[in-house]
Amino acid sequence: MHQNISAHPSSYRDPSGFIFERDGVIYRQVNLSFKTEFDHFIETGCYNALVKQGLLIPHQEINENLTGSSEYYKTLRPEPIPFISYPYEWSFDMLKDAALLTLDVLKTAMDHGMILKDATPYNVQWYKGKMIFIDTLSFVKYEEKPWIAYRQFCEQFLAPLLLMHYTKTSLYQLQLAWIDGIPLHEASKLLPFRSRFSLHTFLHIHLHSKVSRREAGRTNKATIFSSQKMQNLVTSLTLLINKLRAPVQPSNWQHYYAEAETRSTYLDSKKELVKDWIAQLKDISTAADLGANDGVFSRIAAQQGLTVLAADGDPYCVNTMYLDLKRSQEKNVQPLIMDLANSSPATGLNNQERDSFIQRLKPDLILALAVVHHLAIGRNIPLAHIARFFSSTRHYLIIEFVPKEDSKVQLLLANKPDIYEHYSIDDFKNIFGTFFIIEKQELIAQSGRTLFLLRKK
């Protein structure tokens, strides 16, 4: 392999091929060992069918061995994914749709005599307004044997969905604790007893767990698993997942902008300023709305032609936003659960398989509207640390400063001492001036709040 090219740190488990990067472009190499399966995947029309249905990321074949590897068979250049996200950053319905997508991919593969050898949410990404399957090398010939990825699907998709459904709690970060999925025996113990009265839950979690533990260490005998049995399995999983509902946990942020509508002059003024300022910015294509709530300002940025990451720490808000975007078929706003004070770390082998949120956050523009006071006063984070965090923008930052006199800040201070001597607009301007140049500064009508357009130094 060429010295300046190496497999992506997350792409080492599958001998069928690997992902690599060259000159900022992501490629996938298909190895000779996977030649028969890959040719079958293409020649049966399975690839074309999946792409036509919008289930699989399209690719172009590159007739060149870019790695110089002796294992080379094909080089593929998949369409680029603007922002890579992970299951522990998804809301309930994002994970649910990823699970249903995986089953749809499996059904189409079976129609072409193939099956999925992997069924992990890490093979799914958000792309142009919906979830899409990205692993072209997950398809192998179906040989009427039990589905090799069945347990993986149950542990990585079904278990977290069921736990959130039954406990009515957003347990999305369990997937960060159990990076390879929630073990069946753990899921079985965590689920309430009444879940056993659901036939499909009993079969796929409780009985599955019992059988798996009983057969651990045994030599597997050849088992015939007919196409009809496989279809029945997929139907059962689909029926179960379709019935699952997101936990409803109304929060302080659920009606944030609805409440702001009662101060319509303030909200309208802020919307107009943000819209006008974005329209004046040149040579930008991506934005991150951090503290996006239900995505009001994310949509304003998207209407200016930007691809927008809409991140918020409230799972309920993010799930509501995702469903709204899905209904309206908006393609340029990607929802994400993210606590800005405790964002996703780098994980996996050597902490290199999956990048941290900060490593992935490289937008041309960051929106930080009505966020600073929550970080500075609500979470006790000094302004200098906040400024450094927002300096991850490539070019611009539109940020709102909320003074201590504001009613929302007073609520934060109601049950804690005011130790924030260096929280003022002058402190804000001086500290953020380390990283940014002030391009514009406007007082938002009827609010006492100030909006800034900052350019990175």
Strands 307-312 and 25-31: unpaired
Count of structural domains within the chain: 3
Residues 6+ apart with CB under 8 A from 175: 86, 87, 88, 121, 156, 160, 181, 182
Are 420 and 276 part of one and the same domain? yes
Are 37 and 119 part of one and the same domain? no
Are 137 and 210 part of one and the same domain? yes
Are 191 and 267 part of one and the same domain? no
Strands 124-127 and 17-22: unpaired
Q: Which of 126, 77, 68 is nearest to 97 (CA)?
A: 126
Are 394 and 345 part of one and the same domain? yes
Last residue of some domain: 26, 47, 78? Answer: 78
* pLDDT at residue number 223: 77
Residues of the chain with pLDDT under 70: 1-4, 216-222, 249-263
Q: Which domain holds residue 101?
A: 87-243
Are 152 and 187 part of one and the same domain? yes
Are 218 and 161 part of one and the same domain? yes
Q: Is residue 437 part of a domain?
A: yes
Q: How far, in Å, are 57, 335, 399 from residue 84 at the CA level? A: 14, 12, 25
Q: Is residue 250 part of a domain?
A: no
Q: Is residue 287 part of a domain?
A: yes
* pLDDT at residue number 222: 59
Q: Is residue 27 part of a domain?
A: yes
* pLDDT at residue number 190: 96
* pLDDT at residue number 248: 80
Q: How far, in Å, are 206, 230, 265 from residue 235 at the CA level? A: 18, 9, 52
Are 337 and 195 part of one and the same domain? no
- CA-based end-to-end distance of the chain: 39
Q: Is residue 213 part of a domain?
A: yes
Last residue of some domain: 191, 214, 243? Answer: 243
Last residue of some domain: 243, 278, 313? Answer: 243
Instruction: Read off the CATH number of the domain in which 443 is found.
Output: 3.40.50.150
* pLDDT at residue number 213: 83
* pLDDT at residue number 38: 98
Q: Is residue 42 part of a domain?
A: yes
Are 285 and 419 part of one and the same domain? yes
**Model pTM score:** 0.94
Q: Look up residue 267 and give its two tokens.
A: 């909200």
Are 378 and 260 part of one and the same domain? yes
Are 419 and 436 part of one and the same domain? yes
Q: Is residue 9 part of a domain?
A: no
Are 61 and 169 part of one and the same domain? no
Q: Is residue 4 part of a domain?
A: no
**3-class secondary-structure state, position 269:** helix
